[in-house]
Chain A
Amino acid sequence: MLYAIKIATRYLTASKAQTALLVFGVAIGVFIFIFMSALIGGLAEFIMARTAGDMAHITIQAEAVDPALLSPADAHRVLLAQEPASQTAAILKDTAAFIPLIESLPGVIGTSPQINGSGFLTRGAQVTQVSINGLEPGKESVIANLAGYITQGTANLGAGGVLLGKTLTQDMNLRLGQTVRVQSSYGIEALLTITGIYEMGSGGPDRRQAYVSLATARTLFKMPQGVTRIEIKLADLYTADALAPRIKALTGLDAKSWTEQAAQLLEALQAQAQTGYILKAFALLTIIIGVASALLLSTYRRRPEIGIMRAMGAGRWFVMVVFVSQGALIGLMGGLFGAAAGYGVLLAFPGRDSFAPGQNGLPIDIAQGAYGLAIVLTTLGAIAASILPARAAARLDPVTAIGQ
């Protein structure tokens, strides 16, 4: 074995230019593999961070109660009981009991009990419809990192405070510290002070969202106890599908994974990953074809030598190992060079964390280069590629090979 590897090494070093070219070709394939891994991985993380990062990973939503039908429906008219107070029956009660339970589950990093509803924001003659989010003080940044998006003031929600998006304040000409009137869909009004202005960078929340404290929301929505929704954040968002049913079993509440709502996002990410796999598979295929054809040529060129070795008592297995080792060495060297080159080039990119939308370049994650995998797959691929030529070499008839 060792001796066969020595012969293989000599064969490779004997034709240096050819070997160098071959290793270079393999290295390019490996480089593409690594670059694609880092890019696809970085892109996926970037997209996830931009979208799912601010999302709740598991949501428990109070079931909406259908308004009661007051009189038998006739063809023209339907009369519904739209009594606000009765709607509060749809709330999640006993939050105090099951929130610690959920928080004790492994993988759960935080919960955010909320009261959500809609209302109007009024300042002078201006009126804008907003969705009102009541958050528990101290848990403002558990789901979306509100504190990180604050451009003025603070994310801390006190009684009588409201956080508004930057676009909304610009549209309505509002400034930090000013007072606005908020009217809920229940018709209840409150005077609130703008204690913070945030900018998430996406239109919806920046224009239509108002964050208040849970206590304020209780008043606005006539909900002395309970909440309408509990949002849960996980350490790994991909565990949501497994954890949601567990929470459901534990609490009896309808816990939904983010993937149920974000199917499109998931599909897009999967399609993107698949494109990456295809490109990587082609890179590997190119390596395999390159190595196989080069080695096939080499076995042909060395036919007389193979014949001599066989005449001297080298078995078929020995010849096989000589050529398979050449493939393995080429794959390993190409893999190492390609990985080193890939790492070097990726270092030059700004890196995913410092990458901002709208900026030139690519959201590359150097940590996702899959260097080890690239080297291992390339070596295995090159070994696989060498098996056909090696078998041809091992099966050569020594007499015709020597060609005396």
Chain B
Amino acid sequence: MTALLQVQDLVKTFGSGDAETRVLRGVHLAMQTGELAALLGPSGSGKSTLLTILGTLMHPTSGQHSMLGVDLTTASDRALTEFRNQHIGFVFQFHNLLPDFTALENVVFPTAVREGRETAAARTRGQELLVRMGLAERIHFPTANLSGGQKQRVAVARALMNRPELVLADEPTGNLDRASAAQVMDLIAEINRDEGTTFLISTHDEKIAALCQRQIVVGEGLVTG
């Protein structure tokens, strides 16, 4: 396995003066291509903060962040947007999908936004992904009408659309019932096994963590594991 991403001495503070909160106090973390890792830690420990920094949605206060050999600490907003589009997929807990669009339209978005239109090739891949997520019947469904579990599976499909090296999932099963959560996790594990996509999944669920090869724990502003 080769190094996919690396962070060193990562510090993130919010606010300043008396209101200053040091959430991350010098995190060192490296991930290899093909890993399936769980991100654990108590509420408020900084899991989401770390994920958004790794996802280039937020700049760290200090420290180094690189992925695929690219230094992301100093990159411009435009370069980060492009990098994100090509190399990183996201699954969030809430507000994942564009409610006025169908499942397929949501899935092809990352490709369409890059190519400027929805190509036939993109649609074909989107359909394949939705079929793989067990949503063959829901391809042209408006996402507003999907169940919570179905929505998260559409979100996973969309995260995979541009064949990213890394998928960051912030409590993807956080508001799903056991059965739906297990279904989503099985699909993630399957993709990880078949395609070698690297996943980092934050969760409070020990069962989900147990499904991952690696457990990374955030605590006291530092990372272990």
Contact = CB atoms under 8 A, between A and B. Distances in A.
Nearest to B101: A10
A313 B81 contact: yes
Given A316-B77, A404-B48, A1 B116 contact: yes
Given A399-B57, A404-B170, A313 B98 contact: no
Nearest to A311: B90
A75 to B, nearest CB: 95
Interface in B74-123: 77-78, 81-82, 84-86, 90, 92-101, 109-110, 112-118
Contacts of B170: 404
Interface stretch (A91-99, A134-142, A215-223, A302-310): A302-310
B110 A404 contact: no
B98 A2 contact: no
A315 B78 contact: yes
Given A308-B96, A404-B48, A404-B93, A313 B58 contact: no
Contacts of B85: 312-313
Contacts of A404: 48, 52, 92-95, 170
A313 B100 contact: no
Nearest to A2: B117
Contact of A313 (B52, B86, B94, B97): B86
Given A312-B90, A313-B81, A313-B110, A402 B117 contact: no
A10 B113 contact: no
A29 B92 CA distance: 43
A313 B84 contact: yes
Contact of A314 (B48, B81, B117): B81
Nearest to A14: B100
Contacts of A1: 116
B46 interface: no
Nearest to A317: B78
A403 interface: yes
The 7 A-B residue pairs with the shortest CB-CB distance, nearest first, are: A313-B85, A14-B100, A304-B95, A312-B110, A314-B113, A315-B81, A398-B57
Nearest to B89: A312
Contacts of B101: 10
Given A2-B116, A3-B118, A404-B92, A311 B57 contact: yes
A391 to B, nearest CB: 14
Interface string B197-220: 000000000000000000000000
A318 interface: yes
B58 A312 contact: no
24 contacts: A1-B116, A3-B113, A10-B100, A11-B100, A305-B95, A310-B57, A310-B81, A311-B55, A312-B90, A312-B113, A313-B81, A313-B82, A313-B84, A315-B81, A316-B77, A318-B113, A398-B57, A399-B52, A399-B57, A399-B58, A402-B95, A403-B94, A404-B94, A404-B170
A402 B90 CA distance: 12
B184 to A, nearest CB: 17
Interface range on chain A (Cβ under 8 Å from partner): 20 to 34
A128 B69 CA distance: 108
A318 B84 CA distance: 15
B14 to A, nearest CB: 11
Nearest to B92: A404
Interface in A14-42: 14
B92 A309 contact: no
Interface residues of B, number: 35
B113 A311 contact: no
Contacts of A6: 117-118
Interface of A: 1-3, 6, 10-11, 14, 304-305, 307-316, 318, 398-399, 402-404
B112 to A, nearest CB: 5
B153 interface: no
Contact of B95 (A3, A11, A307): A307
Given A311-B92, A316-B81, A399-B52, 17 more contacts: A1-B116, A2-B116, A3-B112, A3-B118, A305-B95, A307-B95, A308-B96, A311-B57, A313-B82, A313-B114, A313-B162, A314-B113, A315-B78, A318-B113, A399-B57, A403-B95, A404-B170
Nearest to B116: A3
Nearest to B97: A308
A2 B119 CA distance: 12
Interface in B17-68: 48, 52, 55, 57-58
Nearest to B155: A308
B92 A402 contact: yes
Nearest to B171: A404
B151 interface: no
B87 to A, nearest CB: 10
A398 B112 CA distance: 19
A308 B158 CA distance: 11
Contacts of B110: 312-313
Contacts of A403: 94-95
Nearest to B168: A311
A6 B108 CA distance: 13
Most-contacted residue by chain B among A309, A313, A403 (CB, 10 A) = A313
Q: Among the interface residues A2, A6, A309, A398, which one has the most CB atoms of the partner chain B within 10 A?
A: A398
A399 B90 CA distance: 12
Contacts of A10: 100-101
A275 B100 CA distance: 45
Q: Which of A6, A10, A311, A398 has the largest number of chain B CB atoms within 10 A?
A: A311
Nearest to B118: A3
